[in-house]
């Protein structure tokens, strides 16, 4: 149906909601709030100029200059949700067979007005001009331009060993308490800050790649691995007098995940990283980052069994039961158990789960991998010991647990909890098939939180509190605070902690994100993620009293997001 008549615009938008609805967080709001963009919706680090243009029959003609401008807008605003090749992920597919059938008036209406299902109102918000809306409508009717591939030669050209293994310290040369050290992402600065957990002082600032996504620890606790959205990996030696990068590599054009081998006998031997583009993962030497094996992930989806050209690699965890990496392949909904015993004869088992696999973590026994298939509204449970899918659990709208939260529910026994981007619920799934078989792999409790827009949920084995952020909630009072529950009395409701207010930063969006405990489990750290030009901070809360303990507001803390305690990250404590 085409909405060429202006009176049909509301109807067109209603159809758009059903056809194309995506997350609101795709847009960077007009006030320049980078925290308002979900992790999926931020701009792609892929250079638009690298993507070759294909002119499609039946699509409106565009000049070379118009194509370049449209590519830039798409890569900056749209690729994170719809995919570089527009095959759909968090957002729906926007391929020419769909867009040409809808017609230019329909597309212009959809881009202009957005949808309550999450598509930003690019036109009426003023983010795109009327001419830019029309340009993007025309652009979407052409074949999506594909960026270049990234193979071994490309990786080798970026690989650097800055300090050879034999030249590194034979013992720790600093006085840092590594177990209580935090690696903090300074997203828009392209850096990480190492912060001492006791003094709350920055001890090092280390230059990294664009928009670091996560930090992961080697099994030994010596090496810190960080990966940015530009697919650049830094390997930091924490034993040096001043911890710094000893090796680095770029494994693609866009990425999210890195991990190291943790199975007994293989500690620190290998590292692995997964790319969003090209869709692949690479196994590397754990001391030098030399690439050893590249594996592509393009293939068939688990449901319709159709070919998908852009199945991005999301979360990767290291198995404790076998010498394996567990790899989430997002768009196809497949979980790969990749055995690294013999890289020349690589053995991999593929488990069909559900589409749009994203993030997740271990249950408390570290046998079961609990991972969100976010747009399928499911949690997949993988038995890493028996190497099979244990269950697919229906949960709320768009689960986004981070690594989740493990604790003992007073009524239901051991559980793993997730919060959601798309609704206000927090749900607990039973994880004890031996002690509580009737509860296992079922949602045993649902709580209502402050609202949707949650990115992370967190507790600690020594804590009685459960914290839930709501960083992407549109209500300022909600996005700037956290809800905390008493684990021993969950039905009593939550207390709201005004984290951003405690930070006292002045102007800016000040979204509060990602609770992270110290090694003792008696402090919780929160990022107050402000605009790049505003002041940001980290707020430290006393877990016992739920009172403010410290505000770390060093001017070098530019857009802090993820925080990773070395011990908790090394030992999968969450």
Report d(CA 355, CA 376) in Å as an integer.
Answer: 6
Identify the active-site residue in 78, 155, 336, 370: 78
For residue 20, give the H/E element and its range: helix 9-20
Identify the active-site residue in 235, 240, 322, 358: 358
Does residue 142 have an active-site annotation? no
Report d(CA 299, CA 331) in Å as an integer.
Answer: 10
For every residue of 509-563, DSSP letters joined together read: --EEEEEEE-TTSSEEEEEEE--TTS--EEEEEETTTTEEEEEE--TT--SEEEE
Q: How would you classify the pairing of strands 537-542 and 191-196?
A: unpaired
Identify the active-site residue in 142, 213, 308, 400: 400
SS (H, E, C) 247-309: EEEECCCEEEEEEECCCCCCCCCEEEEEEEECCEEEEEECCCCCEEEEEECCEECCCCCCEEC
Does residue 78 have an active-site annotation? yes
Report d(CA 354, CA 362) in Å as an integer.
Answer: 18
CA distances from 80 to 217, 353, 416, 501, 506 (A): 27, 22, 28, 31, 30
Strand partners, 361: 370
C-alpha angle with apex 201: 478 to 512, nearest 5 degrees? 10
Does residue 119 have an active-site annotation? yes
Does residue 81 have an active-site annotation? yes
Other Cβ atoms closer than 10 A to 6: 10
User: Contact 109/9 with Cβ under 8 angstroms?
Assistant: yes
Strand partners, 369: 362, 382
For every residue of 88-135, DSSP letters joined together read: -SSSPP--HHHHHHH-HHHHHHHHHH--TTS---TTTTTSS-HHHHHH
C-alpha angle with apex 305: 300 to 310, nearest 5 degrees? 35
Does residue 412 have an active-site annotation? no
> So which residues are the catalytic ones?
78, 81-82, 119, 358, 400
């Amino acid at each position: 149906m085409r909405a060429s008549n202006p009176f049909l615009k509301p109807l067109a938008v209603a159809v758009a909601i059903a056809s194309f609805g995506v997350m609101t967080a795709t847009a960077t709001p007009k006030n320049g709030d980078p925290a308002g963009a979900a992790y999926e919706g931020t701009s792609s680090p892929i250079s638009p100029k690298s993507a070759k243009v294909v002119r499609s029959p039946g699509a409106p003609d565009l000049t070379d200059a118009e194509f370049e401008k449209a590519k830039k807008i798409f890569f900056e605003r749209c690729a994170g949700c719809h995919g570089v090749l527009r095959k759909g992920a968090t957002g729906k597919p926007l391929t020419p067979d769909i867009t040409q059938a809808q017609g230019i008036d329909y597309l212009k209406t959809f881009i202009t007005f957005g949808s309550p299902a999450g598509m930003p109102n690019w036109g009426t918000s003023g983010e795109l001009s009327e001419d830019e809306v029309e340009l993007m409508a025309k652009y979407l009717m052409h074949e999506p331009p594909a960026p270049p591939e990234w193979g071994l030669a490309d990786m080798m050209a970026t690989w650097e060993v800055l300090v050879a293994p034999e030249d590194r310290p034979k013992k720790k040369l600093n006085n840092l308490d590594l177990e209580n050290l935090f690696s903090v992402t300074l997203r828009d600065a392209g850096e990480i800050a190492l912060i001492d957990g006791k003094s709350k002082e920055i001890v090092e600032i280390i230059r990294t790649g664009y928009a670091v996504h996560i930090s992961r620890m080697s099994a030994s606790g010596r090496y810190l691995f960080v990966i940015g959205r530009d697919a650049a990996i830094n390997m930091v030696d924490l034993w040096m007098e001043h911890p710094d990068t000893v090796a680095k590599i770029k494994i693609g054009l866009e990425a999210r995940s890195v991990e190291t081998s943790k199975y007994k006998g293989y500690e620190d031997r290998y590292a692995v990283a997964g790319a969003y583009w090209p869709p692949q993962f690479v196994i590397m030497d754990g001391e030098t980052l030399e690439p050893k094996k590249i594996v592509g992930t393009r293939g068939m989806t688990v449901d319709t069994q159709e070919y998908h050209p852009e199945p991005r690699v999301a979360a990767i965890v290291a198995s404790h039961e076998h010498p394996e990496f567990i790899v989430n392949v997002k768009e196809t909904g497949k979980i790969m158990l990749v055995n690294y015993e013999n890289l020349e004869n690589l053995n991999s088992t593929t488990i069909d789960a559900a589409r749009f696999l994203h993030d997740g973590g271990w249950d408390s026994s570290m046998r079961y991998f609990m991972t969100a298939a976010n747009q399928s509204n499911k949690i997949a449970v993988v038995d890493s010991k028996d190497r099979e899918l244990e269950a697919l659990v229906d949960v709320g709208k768009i689960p986004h647990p981070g690594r989740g939260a493990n604790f003992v529910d007073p009524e239901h026994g051991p559980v793993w909890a997730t919060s959601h981007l798309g609704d206000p619920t927090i749900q607990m799934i039973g994880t004890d098939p031996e002690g509580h078989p009737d509860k296992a792999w079922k949602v045993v409790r649902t709580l209502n939180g402050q609202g949707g827009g949650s990115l992370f949920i967190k507790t600690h084995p020594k804590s009685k509190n459960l914290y839930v952020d709501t960083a992407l909630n549109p209500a300022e009072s909600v996005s700037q605070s956290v809800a905390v529950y008493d684990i021993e009395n969950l039905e009593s409701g939550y207390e709201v902690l005004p984290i951003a207010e405690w930070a006292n930063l002045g102007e800016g969006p000040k979204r509060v994100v990602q609770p992270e405990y110290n090694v003792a489990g008696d402090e919780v750290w929160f990022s107050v993620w402000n605009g790049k030009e505003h002041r940001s901070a980290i707020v430290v809360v006393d877990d016992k009293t739920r009172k403010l303990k410290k505000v770390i507001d060093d001017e070098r803390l530019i857009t802090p997001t993820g925080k990773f305690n070395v011990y908790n990250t090394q030992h999968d404590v969450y």
